[in-house]
Structure 1
């Protein structure tokens, strides 16, 4: 296994984004996530993802924490099962 080239085609976090695991569904386009920095946040599913991307508990997502309110975030991306398994194998996401 190579030490960095294995992420080809996989969307990785930019500087203001974090990996997170969905821990609960709150309704009203909001979910509860556990971010990889150890913080639990309430994340908002943006309109561009609603009805197009189905998010469920235990999905791996990419979130962007709010600058002015650290306990909240916006969902930027949802990984499919194969990509999420790969992120777990590579150690980027811990359950």
Structure 2
């Protein structure tokens, strides 16, 4: 029998969830890149993204981001445009809500952009529903 020499299970592989993530430097778009809003998850590492140049593209999550950076509907992302395919792009970076607000104040994003503050497990819209048992 071979003895287990590993360091543990899933919790070790995933890494620790830091209570206060490190503040990183804000990344602006360059030539051949565009900001986008995730509209729909398509599966197989692809999303439908509404770019801020009024174009809807299918964006591919790059391999180094898979299973490390979770992208959801309503997130602001930075995509790299392809020269040979206009309707397909590659996701380079996901902005957290604070970074997206900073981009909006710098004038990089349009003023009518709605930035959703989707933290893990927050369902604020479900909290305002009230039921009266006597009416039922």
TM bracket, shorter-chain basis:
0.7 to 0.9
Q: Which runs of 5+ in 1 are unaligned?
A: 1-8
RMSD: 1.0
**Deviation of the 1:88 alpha carbon:** 2.3
Partner of residue 93, structure 2: 77
SS at 1:21 equivalent: strand
Larger radius of gyration: 2
User: What's the TM-score once normalised by structure 2's chain length?
Assistant: 0.61
- Dislocated runs of 4+, deviation >6 Å: none
Q: Which runs of 5+ in 2 are unaligned?
A: 1-24, 114-136
Partner of residue 26, structure 1: 42
SS at 1:63 equivalent: strand
From the two aligned structures, give the one with the greater strand fraction.
Answer: 1
Count of residue correspondences = 87
Of the two structures, which has the highest relative contact order with CA contacts closer than 8 Å and spacing of 6 or more? 1
Deviations 1:54-84 (A, max 9, x none): 0011111000111111000000100011101
Structure 1 residues 58-73: aligned runs within 5 Å = 58-73=74-89
User: What's the TM-score once normalised by structure 1's chain length?
Assistant: 0.86
Checking the alignment, whether the CA contact within 8 Å between 1:66 and 1:72 is kept in structure 2 is yes
